[in-house]
Amino acid sequence: MTTLQQVWLSWKDPLTSDMQTLALGLPIAIGRDANSMPTAIANGQPVAKLTLNSSQVSRYHALISLQADQLWIGDQNSSNGVFVNGQRQTQRSLKSGDVVRIGPYEISITTTAPNQPATQRRSSDSFIQVPDQQLPDPPSSSSPLEAFPPAEFQAQYVSPQQLYATGLPVEEIDYVAIGAGLGSYIWVDFLRVYGVQAQQVRALGLEGKPYGRYQRLCLNSQIPAHERLRSNSDSCPDNLWGWPSYALREAYGDFLRGHFQAALRHLWQVFTEPILTETYTPRSGNVFKSIDREAARIGWHHMYRFGRVRAIRKTDDGRYAIAYSAGRGRHAFVIGRYVHLCTGYPVIQFLPDLQDYREKTGDFKTVVNAYEEHDHVYSTLERQGGTVLIRGRGIVASRVIQRIYEARRRNPNISILHLMRSPKPVGNKFGLAQRPVSNHFELQPFNWPKACWGGTLREQLENAAPRERTNLLADWGGTTTADRHDWRDIIQTGLDKGWYRIVFGDVVAVEPDAQGRPVTRIREKGITGELTLTANYIIDATGLDGKVKSTPLLNDLVTHYQLTLNALGRFQVNNDFEMPEMRNRSGRMYAAGAITFGGPHAAVDSFLGLQYCALKSVEALAQENASQVRPLHPLASLSQWFKWINNQAP
């Protein structure tokens, strides 16, 4: 018998959702602080160290070692304990396939190299571009005459004269919002309320409606207009005061239609949530309508221009030149002094084994991502019945299960296999707070604890040093779903009736069977050998990826100006969301949304988070006396609010 020399530890990063796999020699010390872990154990054997970022992880938390040819894990007097397959342990033997939970990390232990495609490739290798409505010309032009952006863009600074000399259209304007999605719209809304004229703002993007891409992602992930979102009543992208809130507006609408009971229910809900009632959330259709109204009020359609932004450069006169394409051969430049970059999620992330399956089989119909268009799955299930295997246990998985539940009303011959890596007996803990868990789903009204938006946690993160921020985000983050009674009921009914089954295991491979169905081979927890799960469809509900290097525009910016990225691979920003390395004399460049995750604000990818980013950057512009931006003192704010109420231009 050969003595075990090393083990493989695999886990999903609680912050980025990246799969990490490390092969480490034994013994292995695990903790938060490498300096607090021993360099050798009693017999002088050197120790490999695994550092995990979270304040739930003690400085020296656990030791994995070999004793008489048996693998053991020992708790090193940690504050929050070591859990093996869900049970708290002080000292326990380990076998291949066990899952060790330390703080928010769930680490699978294997004694043989895990299957290559499934676990050793990083998930960032596996993505597809978030689909856009219209796609002007491909990234590189076919003809050298058409080379765009031009050679001048290879320099650190370009001069406006050089751009005019290209003969292409050049526009000079004060404010440029890149992306023209929800985050850009919110920034522009703030600028307008703070006094900037619509003629001084340009928004460049690919969707006429600021919520175009967001709406598509909602529809793909099964949130139609009548379904409710996951934000609270006063997170109103159309109204920076947050009042009247969505609950009040919905109650008013119901009242006018004579639906008195429904009106009272919404009001009762916002007064008593989340103790006596579930948290109120607005219908997506109502949010879109409200954005349309505000877009018309601030003159969005005069400010918006269609175009894919290809590159951003500093100019030699303290501004920024933005090169964009509005179709094949239709290129242009905008020069602006204040630029806001908010391009949302660059890519849809695929689990590596599912991406492998799609690449090998060319089958994009049976293995799908919940964020891509996949309505054919539900319509075929309604006609023919079948089994769906779901991966991921966040809010999108809940939506997909709800949609399949609805399909079952038309055809009860539909079943769900829900594959999870490990059980979730207890929820994440921070201080005295602990999230509830129901049937291995961790529950929380919003994607972050509420105090991350306006409370103490927001301040704590802003004041924290970069390394501490990563720890805090790992503590507060993690995959959760909304605590909705209908979703809990659906899961419980499915479990009771047997059409919904949860399976725990690590994927070894996904392969087609003779009938072309995807078969998932897994190593089930606590069982030696493999189990096969045959399904008609696999839905990957694990998420979107916000790493800036996945997109040509942002990658070009990072490499051209050698920008420092934060620990999570996103742009480093100051507390007012300025990109410090892009400062250009009086020129300022700000970033917002998913591309700034890991910085001063946790909930950057949310309505209220985007409003907070906009508030901080526009307040900073007001302090800099930026063109037309006036401080919004209380009386000015009140007057602007009356204009909002009366639907008058700011």
Ligand X SMILES: Cc1cc2nc3c(=O)[nH]c(=O)nc-3n(C[C@H](O)[C@H](O)[C@H](O)COP(=O)(O)OP(=O)(O)OC[C@H]3O[C@@H](n4cnc5c(N)ncnc54)[C@H](O)[C@@H]3O)c2cc1C
Binding marks (x or -) toward ligand X, 499..518, rule CB under 6 A? --------------------
Stretch that binds ligand X, among 104-112, 188-196, 228-236, 613-621 (CB under 6 A): 228-236
Instruction: Give the binding range for ligand X (CB under 6 A) out of 61-69, 336-344, 412-420, 471-479.
Output: 336-344
CB-based contacts of 243, cutoff 8 Å, min separation 6: 234
The closest of 343, 300, 278, 395 to 552, measured between CA atoms, is 343
Among 82, 291, 303, 342, binds ligand X (CB under 6 A): 342
Q: Pull the structure tokens for residue 206.
A: 């690919």
Shortest spacing between CB 145 and ligand X, in angstroms: 23
Q: Among residues 98 and 545, whose Cβ is nearest to ligand X? A: 545
* Cα–Cα distance for residue pair 422/147, rounded to 1 Å: 51
Q: Which is nearer to ligand X, 304 or 644 (CB)?
A: 304
- Site membership for ligand X, residue 204 (CB under 6 A): yes
Among residues 159, 157, 55, which one has the least CA distance to residue 429?
Answer: 55
- State the minimum distance, in angstroms, from the CB of residue 144 to ligand X: 22
| Residue 332 binds ligand X (CB under 6 A) | no
For ligand X, which stretch binds (CB under 6 A), given 152-160, 180-188, 517-525, 567-575? 180-188
Nearest Cα to Cα of residue 517 among 403, 417, 429: 417
Decide if residue 607 touches ligand X (CB under 6 A).
yes
For strand 48-51 and strand 28-31, is the pairing parallel, antiparallel, or unpaired? parallel
The single residue among 221, 387, 422, 617 that binds ligand X, judged by CB under 6 A, is 221
Separation in Å, CA 551 to CA 157, 262, 616: 22, 45, 26
Number of Cβ within 10 Å of residue 594's Cβ equals 21
Least separation in angstroms between CB 234 and ligand X: 11
We find the least distance from the C-beta atom of residue 272 to ligand X, in angstroms, to be 21
Q: How many Å apart are CA 271 and CA 629, to the nearest integer?
A: 36
136 binds ligand X (CB under 6 A): no
* CB contact at 8 A, 458 and 602: yes
- C-beta atoms surrounding 511 within 10 Å: 16
User: Alpha-carbon distance 590 to 602, whole Å?
Assistant: 17
Does 599 participate in binding ligand X (rule CB under 6 A)?
A: no
Q: Kindly tell me which of 47 and 203 has the beta carbon lying closer to ligand X.
A: 203
Q: Interface mask (CB under 6 A) for ligand X, residues 275-314, using x and -?
A: ---------------------------------xx-----
Burial class of residue 132, CB neighbours in 10 A (0-12, 13-18, 19+):
middle
Asked if 126 is part of the footprint of ligand X (rule: CB under 6 A), the reply reads: no
CA separation for the pair 518, 536 (Å, rounded)? 7
Q: Which of 503, 502, 521 is nearest to 511 (CA)?
A: 521
> What secondary structure does DSSP assign to 101-130, as a single string?
EETTEEEEEESSPPPIIIIIS-GGG-EEEP
Over the range 289-318, which residues count as b (16 or more CB within 10 Å of their CB) and which as e?
A: ebbeebbebbbbeebbbbbbbbbbbbbbee
Q: Which residues, listed in sequence order, are joined to residue 70 by a DSSP beta bridge?
A: 67
| Pairing mode, strands 62-67 and 70-75 | antiparallel
For residue 323, state whether it binds ligand X (rule: CB under 6 A).
Answer: no
Closest chain position to ligand X (CB): 181
Q: Give the residue with the Cβ less far from ligand X, 25 or 455.
A: 455
Q: Which two tokens stand for residue 340?
A: 């806001």
Is residue 192 within the footprint of ligand X (CB under 6 A)?
A: no
Considering only 182, 191, 579, 602, the residue that binds ligand X (CB under 6 A) is 182
Out of 80, 123, 269, 343, the only residue in the binding site for ligand X (CB under 6 A) is: 343
DSSP structure class, residue 74:
E
Q: Residue 370 or 417: which CB sits closer to ligand X?
A: 370
Please choose, out of 106-114, 176-184, 498-506, 512-520, the segment that lies near ligand X by the rule CB under 6 A.
176-184
Question: Is residue 339 near ligand X by the rule CB under 6 A?
Answer: no
Q: Which residues between 425 and 484 bind ligand X (CB under 6 A)?
A: none
Amino acid symbol at 405: Y
Q: Would you count residue 239 as binding ligand X (CB under 6 A)?
A: no
- Kindly state the tokens that stand for 162: 């050089």
List the one residue from 213, 374, 424, 469 that touches ligand X (CB under 6 A).
Answer: 213
In angstroms, the Cα distances linking 448 to 298, 465, 631 are 30, 20, 30
When asked if residue 341 is in the footprint of ligand X (CB under 6 A), the reply is no
Q: How far is the CB of 639 from ligand X (least distance, A)?
A: 28
Which residue from 61, 202, 230, 521 is in contact with ligand X, where contact means CB under 6 A? 230
**623 CB neighbour count, 10 Å cutoff:** 11
Q: Does 132 interact with ligand X (rule: CB under 6 A)? A: yes
Q: Which is nearer to ligand X, 449 or 518 (CB)?
A: 449
The piece of 121-129, 230-238, 509-517, 632-640 that touches ligand X (CB under 6 A) is 230-238
**Exactly one of 117, 449, 593, 598 binds ligand X (CB under 6 A); which one?**
593
The two tokens of residue 304 are 């918006």
Q: Looking at 527-641, which runs of residues are DSSP E strands?
A: 530-534, 537-540, 544-545, 588-591
CB nearer to ligand X: pick between 64 and 270: 270
- Which listed residue (174, 189, 207, 234) binds ligand X by CB under 6 A? 207
Candidates 2-10, 94-102, 217-225, 567-575; binding stretch for ligand X (CB under 6 A) = 217-225
- Of 126, 189, 4, which is closest to residue 614 (Cα–Cα)? 189
Number of chain residues interacting with ligand X (CB under 6 A): 32
Least Cβ distance, residue 404 to ligand X (angstroms): 17
Residue 183 interacts with ligand X (CB under 6 A): yes or no = yes
Count of H helices and E strands in the chain? 17, 33
Interacting residues with ligand X between 345 and 384 (CB under 6 A)? none
Terminal Cα-to-Cα distance of the chain (whole angstroms): 78
**Within a 10 A sphere around the Cβ of 488, how many other Cβ atoms?**
16
- The nearer residue to ligand X, 123 or 415, going by C-beta atoms, is 123
Q: How far is the CB of 209 from ligand X (least distance, A)?
A: 9
The least CB distance from residue 627 to ligand X, in Å, is 24
Residue 207 CB neighbours (<10 A): 19
Interacting residues toward ligand X by CB under 6 A: 132, 179, 181-184, 204-207, 212-214, 217-218, 221, 229-231, 235, 308-309, 342-344, 553, 593-594, 605-607, 610
